[in-house]
Amino acid sequence: MPPPPLIAPSLLSADFARLGAEVEAIDRAGADWLHLDVMDGHFVPNLTFGPDIIRAIRPLSRKCFDTHLMIAPVDPYLEAFAKAGADRLTVHAEATPHLDRTLQAIANLGKAAGVALNPATPESAIAYVLDRIDLVLVMSVNPGFGGQAFIPAMVEKIRRLRAMLGARPVHIEVDGGITPETAPLVLAAGADALVAGSAIFRAPPYEQAIAALRHAAPA
Ligand code: DX5
Ligand code: ZN
């Protein structure tokens, strides 16, 4: 049996008025990573939070801060997110004209580097940077909002990415529309980490919602 998937609750669906308490609750409920969605109202049609909020919640959890940067440009802000306490910086392949340079900059900051792919972006976009990353984030919705429907064509993209990665120890994390129904499809295709906003924060108790995803058996 493959190891259970890593579960990364997306704070985008948390109650922002009680953000600190939500971070502590989701940590206690068994989250593996905390997924932090940073949006700029330019690369994606929504705005969320920046480094100051991440710095404020950093003392509340020792879990990996899995930081999903939906911002363009991204290079000028990497250092601020690194200093704020992000553990992994995931940038969009579509958001930087010099992806290889951006990934080197993240490594130079001492952080793990991830690359996110929008639904319409083919896996070939990262063919030449596979040795610079520890994670591929497959967007299974168009980024910007929680609560959207999973795009089934992403299952084949995950399968192709897993084959491309070969023996490299690179995570494939899937983000958007993940539920106990869609999780088995992406896990069977080769994903090993699941982001979930609505399926956790809108389905309390959190501990049970996380367990339901973790134990979603591949079809
Ligand atoms: C979307 C974000 C996701 C989002 C997922 O742009 O990157 O992390 O919060 O939310 P659900 O799980 O509700 O689709
Ligand atoms: Zn995300």
Is residue 175 annotated as a catalytic residue, yes or no?
yes
**Residue 40 scores a pLDDT above 80:** yes
Rounded distance between C-alpha atoms, residue 12 and residue 202, angstroms: 11
Is residue 192 annotated as a catalytic residue, yes or no?
no
Rounded distance between C-alpha atoms, residue 28 and residue 204, angstroms: 13
Predicted TM-score (pTM) of the model is 0.98
Residue nearest to atom 6 of ligand 1 (CA): 143
Task: Kindly list the protein residues that place their beta carbon closer than 5 angstroms to ligand 2, a single-atom ion.
Answer: 37, 68, 175
**Residue 44 scores a pLDDT above 90:** yes
Domain boundaries, the chain: 6-214
User: Alpha helix locations (H) across the chain?
Assistant: 19-28, 51-57, 78-84, 99-108, 154-165, 183-189, 198-201, 206-214
Q: How many CB atoms lie within 10 A of CB 28?
A: 11
pLDDT in tens, 143-156: 999 999 999 999 99
**Residue 4 scores a pLDDT above 80:** yes
Check whether the bond before 205 is cis (ω within 30° of 0).
yes
Which ligand approaches the C-alpha of residue 68 most closely? 2
pLDDT in tens, 69-87: 999 999 999 999 999 999 9
Distance in Å, CA 196 to ligand 1 centroid: 6
Q: What is the structure's pLDDT at 1?
A: 72
Distance in Å, CA 175 to ligand 2 centroid: 6
* Residue of 32, 37, 66, 192 marked catalytic: 37
Token pair listed for 109: 């900051």
Class of domain 6-214: alpha beta
**Residue 2 scores a pLDDT above 90:** no
Q: What is the structure's pLDDT at 143?
A: 98
DSSP output for 163-198? HHHTT---EEEEESS--TTTHHHHHHHT--EEEESH
**Number of the ligand 1 atom closest to the C-alpha atom of 39:** 6
Distance in Å, CA 164 to ligand 2 centroid: 23
Rounded distance between C-alpha atoms, residue 152 and residue 141, angstroms: 10
Residue owning tokens 């969009």: 92
